[in-house]
Structure 1
Amino acid sequence: MRLLFLVSPPDRLDPAHDSSIALMRAATARGHQALIAEMRELSLRDGHVLARAHAADLRSGSLGRGRAEVLDLDDVGLVLVRTDPPVNDDYLRATYLLDFAQRRGTPVCNSPDALRNTNEKLFALHFPDLIPETVVSASAAELADAVARWGRAVLKPTDAMGGRGVLLLEHGHPNLAGLIEVGTARGRRQVVLQRFVDDGTHSDRRVLVVDGEPVAALRRTAKAPDFRCNMAVGASAAPVPLSKTDRAICATLRPELIGRGIGFAGIDLIGDRLIEVNITSPTGLREIDGGPMETAGRVADAVLRRLLAHAR
């Protein structure tokens, strides 16, 4: 089977940590062909979605581009959308084209509709019983009032990833107003403000979920003095067993994930609180599987196997 991975520019992907490359290795180990393209390389002609695709060259220490071809997505068994945020106009245009491919029978994971309409920072708000107290606003007064009530809070942009733009706010801090001003672009941009959750471990858990079922978990520990648990900013990571809390939260999310066409997600938890649901390009497979980066990992193979079960 031919599998198309829609990825960020390949030279930005780190083979030691990138989950897309881990899935490609799992695909080739199973005898499938992994092809790569960027979203900008999609086009529509006579109702067919085409991609200027390259064979994924996994022989070296980085992801290389093999022979180029114009690929009709009708001839692809599964499209895996693995492009990092932001979900901007360029990204949205690509999902519109992927709609045509999906309607012609090519499975797309995650679904174009989900990628358009499921904001990774806001989706968790559909589950108010699971999340920390949260405010979404561009108002400095409203945000400062929430910080005063909670003592400490985390401010996040709605359209970033990897800990970018995430700020820790504390009541009484002399630069609180300035931080809110920066975060909201002087009141022009809504942000997510969550009550700070401290379970005493300075860490969070990333749970990888396929078809609504948890398959593996990873503990990410912040690199002091930073409070952010993102691996992109230096947090360390190690696999951990799935807990009863992990399974219970995933069971609650499962109907909504399946209903939206979200086949693969990364759910972030602190203690028993749901923080985020990542669907654009969930990471953590390499850290969970470990081993030489040239090999296909057990969990990456399990994720791919379950995704392929729904492909034609």
Structure 2
Amino acid sequence: MPALKLAMVMDPIENINTKKDTSFAMLLEAQKRGFELYYIRQNDLKIDNGKPQANAKIIQVNDRLEDYFSVIEELEIELSAMDVILMRKDPPFDSEFLYATHILELAENAGVLVVNKPRALRDFNEKLFTSLYPDFIPDTMVTTKKSDFRAFHEQHKDIICKPLDGMGGTSIFRIKEDGNNLGVVSEVLTANGTRHAMVQRYMPEIKDGDKRILLVDGEVIPYCLARLPAKNETRGNLAAGGQGRAQQVSEEDMKVATAIAKDMPGLGILFVGLDMIGNKVTEINITSPTCVREIEAAYSINICSKLFDAIEKRL
């Protein structure tokens, strides 16, 4: 029986840190299960007379810090020839990312399993997604208006302002009670009232970490990564200098995460990174969730094995 073919769309593989890279952990698990691995960058995708294609590289991976992948062959492929495609391109969700989801949807229409589902990637912005669960989120407003920023700040005194398309903690601002820089922050984030941005009540619970809780095929992984802000920082994101601390998911957080997790498989979303501060959900990440390797390093669990059980069940 020929090997199943798995394609992964991701950022340049030569730039990753294998110790922390979740996409790499997925490639290792797929290879262990006998999949043939095809590596694709987003700009390698194309359409030829309605047929989704890509310039791809067949690769092998090794779990080490250097010389961790080798290219076996470079070739042009029909995406319809793949069994499964993992979309693991990091945000921002820009026009190129949007076009990529349309190309991947053509492959999906041809019978390929695409994880996560391209339509879901388009429909559910990682910050706006939380609005579907108003009982679980902190006081939040999405607006283009500087006056709304000011009214929200007047009500809550201490707020967080952020763009809707960022990742890794980029362009996230805390405005304290004195309101310093609120005007310029609102102007920058909304591009002078032409772009939507998000404001949320600041949660002092951030000192205990911005918790990344992983959901796999509707199941909550019982361990999470609490990302603790660096000194003089309000952001826990690892990319912003935060420190990760693996820990068990609390009973309270488990109830919230379970309520959200049950909805995901029906939307074609098999892998989710839920972000919680205190007992409130701040983001629902579905484009390229991370933190698998940090959790697996601390606990005896194979998260990617659970993901590929779900994938193989659908194949």
Give the TM-score, by structure 1 length: 0.92
Deviation at 1:111, TM superposition (A): 0.5
2:307 corresponds to which of 298, 303, 308? 303
CA contact (8 A) 2:217 2:307 kept: no
CA distance in 1 between partners of 2:296 and 2:68 (Å): 19
CA distance in 2 between partners of 1:199 and 1:174 (Å): 22
Given the superposition, is the C-alpha separation of residues 239 and 202 from structure 1 closer, same or farther in structure 2, using an over 3 Å criterion?
closer
Segments of structure 1 that go 5 or more residues without pairing to the other structure are: 292-296
C-alpha deviations, 1:243-290, integer Å up to 9, x for none?
A: 222332223223432232111110001121111000000000111112
C-alpha deviations, 1:68-88, integer Å up to 9, x for none?
A: 112222322211100011111
Given the superposition, is the C-alpha separation of residues 276 and 260 from structure 1 closer, same or farther in structure 2, using an over 3 Å criterion?
same
| Identical pairs, percent | 29
Matching residue of 1:294:
none
Deviation at 1:300, TM superposition (A): 2.6
**Which stretch of structure 1 is more off in the superposition, 119-128 or 93-102?**
93-102
Deviation at 1:97, TM superposition (A): 1.3
Give the TM-score, by structure 2 length: 0.91
CA contact (8 A) 1:13 1:63 kept: no
CA contact (8 A) 1:212 1:250 kept: no
CA contact (8 A) 2:206 2:234 kept: no
CA distance in 2 between partners of 1:187 and 1:48 (Å): 40
Q: Does 1:187 align with 2:190?
A: no
Deviation at 1:101, TM superposition (A): 0.9
1:284 corresponds to which of 270, 291, 298? 291
Deviation at 1:200, TM superposition (A): 6.4
CA distance in 2 between partners of 1:104 and 1:203 (Å): 43
**3-state SS of paired residue (1:182):** helix
Given the superposition, is the C-alpha separation of residues 25 and 282 from structure 1 closer, same or farther in structure 2, using an over 3 Å criterion?
same
C-alpha deviations, 1:27-74, integer Å up to 9, x for none?
A: 112222222101221223354322211123424626646121122223
CA contact (8 A) 1:56 1:63 kept: no
Given the superposition, is the C-alpha separation of residues 175 and 212 from structure 1 closer, same or farther in structure 2, using an over 3 Å criterion?
same
Q: Aligned pairs, how many?
A: 307
Deviation at 1:150, TM superposition (A): 0.5
CA distance in 1 between partners of 2:206 and 2:8 (Å): 39
Aligned ranges 1:200-239 → 2 under 5 Å: 201-215=207-221, 216-239=223-246
Given the superposition, is the C-alpha separation of residues 200 and 73 from structure 1 closer, same or farther in structure 2, using an over 3 Å criterion?
closer
CA contact (8 A) 1:155 1:166 kept: yes
Q: Does 1:55 align with 2:58?
A: yes
Given the superposition, is the C-alpha separation of residues 63 and 70 from structure 1 closer, same or farther in structure 2, using an over 3 Å criterion?
farther
Given the superposition, is the C-alpha separation of residues 182 and 43 from structure 1 closer, same or farther in structure 2, using an over 3 Å criterion?
closer
C-alpha deviations, 1:199-224, integer Å up to 9, x for none?
A: 26341211111112112411111111
CA contact (8 A) 2:209 2:226 kept: yes
Aligned partner of 1:201: which letter? K
Segments of structure 2 that go 5 or more residues without pairing to the other structure are: none
**Which stretch of structure 1 is more off in the superposition, 134-143 or 54-63?**
54-63
Matching residue of 1:14:
17
Given the superposition, is the C-alpha separation of residues 165 and 65 from structure 1 closer, same or farther in structure 2, using an over 3 Å criterion?
farther
Q: Does 1:111 align with 2:95?
A: no
**Which stretch of structure 1 is more off in the superposition, 8-17 or 28-37?**
8-17
Matching residue of 1:199:
205
CA distance in 2 between partners of 1:228 and 1:11 (Å): 27
Deviation at 1:107, TM superposition (A): 0.4
Matching residue of 1:99:
105
Deviation at 1:176, TM superposition (A): 2.5
CA distance in 1 between partners of 2:278 and 2:107 (Å): 40
Q: In angstroms, what is the RMSD of aligned CA positions?
A: 2.0
Matching residue of 2:177:
171
CA distance in 1 between partners of 2:46 and 2:179 (Å): 51
Matching residue of 1:262:
269
Matching residue of 1:134:
140
CA contact (8 A) 2:270 2:307 kept: no
Q: Does 1:240 align with 2:247?
A: yes
Given the superposition, is the C-alpha separation of residues 211 and 230 from structure 1 closer, same or farther in structure 2, using an over 3 Å criterion?
same
Matching residue of 2:88:
82
CA distance in 1 between partners of 2:24 and 2:257 (Å): 25
C-alpha deviations, 1:127-184, integer Å up to 9, x for none?
A: 1111000111121111011011111111110011000111111121332222222222
**Which stretch of structure 1 is more off in the superposition, 91-100 or 272-281?**
91-100
Aligned partner of 1:169: which letter? I
Aligned partner of 1:250: which letter? A
CA contact (8 A) 1:155 1:168 kept: yes
1:71 corresponds to which of 72, 77, 81? 77
